[in-house]
Structure formats: structure tokens, C-alpha cells
Amino acid sequence: MFRNDYSEGAHPSILAKINSTNTLQSKGYGEDQYCESAKKLILDHIGVHTASVHFFVGGTQTNLTALSAFLRPHHGIVSPDTGHINLHETGAIEATGHAIIPVPNKNGKIYADQVRSILKNHMPVHMTKPKLIYISNSTEYGTIYSKKELYELRDVAKENDLFLYLDGARLGVALTCENNDLEITDICDCVDAFYFGGTKNGALFGEALVILNTSLQNDFKYFIKQRGALLAKGRLLGLQFQALFENNLFYDLASHANQAAKKLSSGIKDLGFNLLTETETNQIFVIVSNKQHEALLNKPEFDFEFWEPHPDGAVIRFVTSWATPDENISKLLFALNEIRD
């Protein structure tokens, strides 16, 4: 419990679709009616019918395929130092030939001024040329970009002919959390491409990449195949995004995760624990003493992640999901109460 938001399978309505279509034949490689239908639902939802939509099985796959397709060999990617592509994808981007230009994060985020500073210090020919800004929303620290922050990043990108890419592995919780002031249309106004993350929001697996910049759409399916990311039974991805977008399921599931996180976060603070950052979405970073840390490790039913060392002991992370029941929150709070010093 609470280790992450991809510990369970899929939301029942998603699984139902997979079951009900199992014996039907369809064309391979995403050329089927379910993918077509899911793409239409997504385009209708975002209201940009010139965009193209492509389905992937996972996030690292999406990032490496898209970014390497968008860039020429000398182009580098400006990313928060804590960005998933910089820290936790085993050099997947570099393996496609591109350097990442890390920028010190502030709670997982970077700002337009930092990008401007990178550009100012660029030495032509001898340095990798900054061409794309990578951000995540919500970030790896569970924080979110405000409308103002995102439009400022858009401005610096446009003024300098950079692309802006948004990793939406946890986009659902970002757009449905209390502090959010971004609409999906703002994202479409600002970025060249982004993805709706399904794996961490109730799908068995799957991410839906949306390419808004039409100059980046050409031949894109070749890249999917080349990176080993073209699912033979592509239908499985179409079905899942149909389920997520034919009603409001994508956002309903994310809301549930946020509400669970809020309840848990409040409870943890009430118990006297300090948080590393205020909880905005479904990731809760709690500062514990070494003794508390150890005590929790002895309760294997509460799986969680050690995040980083802290002067007071350690930061640990709890994650809620679309599937988190109230009961589990109560159990965890009860357990945390027990291990207070």
C-alpha cells in the first residue's frame, strides 16, 4: 500500500472492454477502430483537431521516442535536474544521442528565467544547442505548474525557437488538484507535445502522446516502430483510452487519488509529522526520524519509498491512487500514530 500509483491492475471499466473484445479480430499496429475512436475522443476533448495522437505502452518509451524524433543530433534538452528523463530513465535519452542540460529544480520545477540564463551562456558550435524544454506536470515532487509559470515557459520557448514538452505521466492529478489553475486548453496553447498518462491513472498500461506542433507530426509512426514501441495488438491501447475519455473517467480517477492524498496528508500533519513540501497532488513526502523510518520498515503492509536522506533522518514517500480505499488511509494513519516517538 502507498508505494506507488501503479501497484494495481486497471479500473474495472477498462478491463471490461478488454474482455468483451477479446475474440474479435482487428488490424494490428494501431490501425484498428478502437485506436481511431480513442484518438477522436482525445482530439474532441482537447479541442485541437490538427493535433495527432499516438499511443505508447509506457512513459520512458514515450519520452525517448518523441524527444529523439523531434530533435536533430546537436540539440540538447533543458530539464530540471530532478526530471524523470535526467534521473530515472537509465540514460534513455542519451542513448538516442542527445545531451540533457540539467537545471537546478525548485520543488521539482524550473522557471523561464533559468532557461534564459542557459541560453545566454550558450557558446555556439562548442556546446550542445538547447532546443527543447522538458517539464513534468505534476512533477517528480508532486508539485504543479501554475498557469503563469507555464505561459512564461511558453514565452521563452517561442522567443527562442525552442520546443516545450510536457511529461504527463501524472497529468490527471495535476489537472484535478485543488491548487490547479490550468485548463487542458492552456496546455495545448503552450506546449508542442505532451502526453496523458494512463499507467499511473487506472489503465493496465498506456500513455497517449499528443503532438500539437504540426511540423513535428510527419512520419511519426516510423519512430514508434524503430524504438520497439509499436504494439502488435495496438487495439489494447485504443480500448483503454476509449474507456478513459469516453466519459470523464480519466479525471474522475485522478480526483480520487488527490482526495485520498489530501486526507492522508492532513492526517499525517495532525499527527505532528513535517512534510518536505506541501502536498499538491497524490505524492506525500514525509520527514521521519531514523527510528520512525525503521519502525515503518517493520510494517511491510505499508509499502513506501525511501526518497532521500534528511538532517532529521529521512524523507519517505507515500503515493495514493485511483484505487486507494479510505480504509487503507485509516490503517496507515493508525500505524503512523503508533510509531510517533
Query: What part of residues 251-290 is at the interface with its own copies (CB under 8 A)?
Result: none
Whose cell is 474482455? That residue is 19
Rule CB under 8 A: which of 199-258 touch its own copies?
199-200, 204-205, 219, 221-233, 236
Measured from the CB atom, the residue of 223 and 251 that comes closer to its own copies is 223
Cis peptide before 26 (omega within 30 of 0): no
- CB-count burial class (<10 Å; 0-12, 13-18, 19+) for 178: exposed
For helices 33-46 and 235-246, angle between their N-to-C axes, nearest 10 degrees:
40
* C-alpha cell, 135: 517539464
- Per CB under 8 A, 4 contacts its own copies: yes
Out of 47, 88, 248, 266, name the contact with its own copies by CB under 8 A: 88
Out of 52, 53, 55, 63, name the contact with its own copies by CB under 8 A: 63
Only one of the segments 21-29, 106-114, 139-147, 242-250 lies at the binding site for its own copies (rule: CB under 8 A); that segment is: 21-29
* C-alpha cell, 193: 507535445
Other CB atoms within 10 Å distance of the CB of residue 257: 27
- Per CB under 8 A, 132 contacts its own copies: no
Only one of the segments 24-32, 144-152, 252-260, 271-279 lies at the binding site for its own copies (rule: CB under 8 A); that segment is: 24-32
Measured from the CB atom, the residue of 152 and 207 that comes closer to its own copies is 207
Out of 49, 104, 125, 311, name the contact with its own copies by CB under 8 A: 125
Out of 13, 37, 107, 128, name the contact with its own copies by CB under 8 A: 128
DSSP 259-324: HHHHHHHHHHHHTTPEESS---SSEEEEEE-HHHHHHHHT-TTS--EEEEEETTEEEEEEE--TT-
Q: What is the DSSP letter of 40?
A: H
Minimum CB separation of residue 281 from its own copies in Å reads 18
Measured from the CB atom, the residue of 27 and 340 that comes closer to its own copies is 27
CA 62 – CA 93 distance, rounded (Å) = 11
Count of residues touching its own copies (by CB under 8 A): 79
Measured from the CB atom, the residue of 21 and 213 that comes closer to its own copies is 21
